[in-house]
Amino acid sequence: MILGPALLPSVLIAAVLVVSGLAKLRHTTATRSAFQQLKMPRWMTTSFLPAALAPGELLLAVAVLVLPGWAGVAAAVAALLLVLAYVIVIARALTFPVRPSCGCFGELGMGEVTGLTLVRNIVLAVIAALAVWASVASDDSIVQRLIQAPAESWLWLLGVAVAVVLAGLIVHRPAPDFMSMFQPAVADAAALDEDEYLRAPIPFATLLNSSGDEVQLRDMARRQAQLIVYLSPGCGTCHWVFGELDQWRTAIDPVALRVLYSMEPDSAREVQVAGVADTLDDALFDPKMSLVRMMGLSSPSAFLLGTDDLLAGGPVRGEDVRELVNDVAAQLEEARQGQE
């Protein structure tokens, strides 16, 4: 009997748990943010659970592979229950008025929850169920059975691994890394100076304003230097940005600050998140996410538009958004002092 196909579900679910656990360990704040965005109960969000999820997944992966007998069955059942919980959480998130970002793998593959996210989790649940069946089939652990497996089984598993890697390479589409094309430049009060930094062209992008009318990103920037801050109302890590926007507007005046959302204007008006309503009058909207994908943005992100059809800073992400604002404010203050 070739054992490869029978053991494959256990190996796959353990591999998924390892990838998920390691990704969460690298970005611990993304997991707690995901709990907030997915509207988990407050006691869960503020408890030890977000921090414990990553090591828990790693330990569970090891248990699925190395525990024999009924202990191995219990580990496989625990993995199945965990994946089923993810299915329920994502199915519930699809009913939210504003789709949250999914942090199921930390910041790896971070993106808006969609029907495909639910399909992915359902497929993982099927694999986890097959892993339970595989653990019941023998008193030996998965690792023991792999060690005892004939060469044909190892060749079969190797073939599957190669197929998975090849499929991943084929479908993988990395976002353009604008950050490798230029470094943040500086701004003065009248316009954004082009200094020694390499600056990239402002993308040709069509967005919507609050009235639903189309606006061209380049045309808009020619009239006034602008700092564009990309936010998502469903993003837990964006809450601190909403609280600082008014302060930033004052600090970087006369550079305009505008918030960018990846939704329709009407949908944004229905959002019941503190701070969103105050940004809508001059906000920009990218409902098809063309600019968001083109620049590889994730919420929160920011970039600076010069008046000369060139980007003058960014895109930057996370806490670096505040640093970019501080840099612009400092350069503006320096320019004002030089004019006195």
Which CATH superfamily includes the segment(s) 178-339?
Answer: Glutaredoxin (3.40.30.10)
Per the structure block, which two tokens stand in for 47?
Answer: 């408890």
Are 84 and 122 spatial neighbours (Cβ–Cβ below 8 Å)? no
Could you give the residue range(s) of every CATH 3.40.30.10 domain in the chain? 178-339
- Written as tens digits, the pLDDT of the chain (340 aa) is 445 567 888 888 998 899 888 877 876 666 766 676 677 787 887 788 888 888 999 999 999 999 999 999 999 999 999 999 999 988 888 887 666 655 555 544 545 677 888 888 899 999 999 999 989 988 888 888 888 877 776 776 777 677 766 666 555 554 444 333 333 333 333 344 444 446 788 888 889 988 888 888 888 888 888 999 998 876 666 777 888 888 998 888 888 899 998 888 888 777 766 677 778 888 899 888 888 888 888 778 899 998 888 888 878 888 888 899 998 888 888 877 776 6
Per the structure block, which two tokens stand in for 74?
Answer: 């219990």
Per the structure block, which two tokens stand in for 154?
Answer: 């190892």
| Amino acid occupying residue 39 | K
Q: What is the pLDDT of residue 222?
A: 82
Q: What is the pLDDT of residue 43?
A: 81
Q: What is the pLDDT of residue 45?
A: 75
Q: What is the pLDDT of residue 176?
A: 42
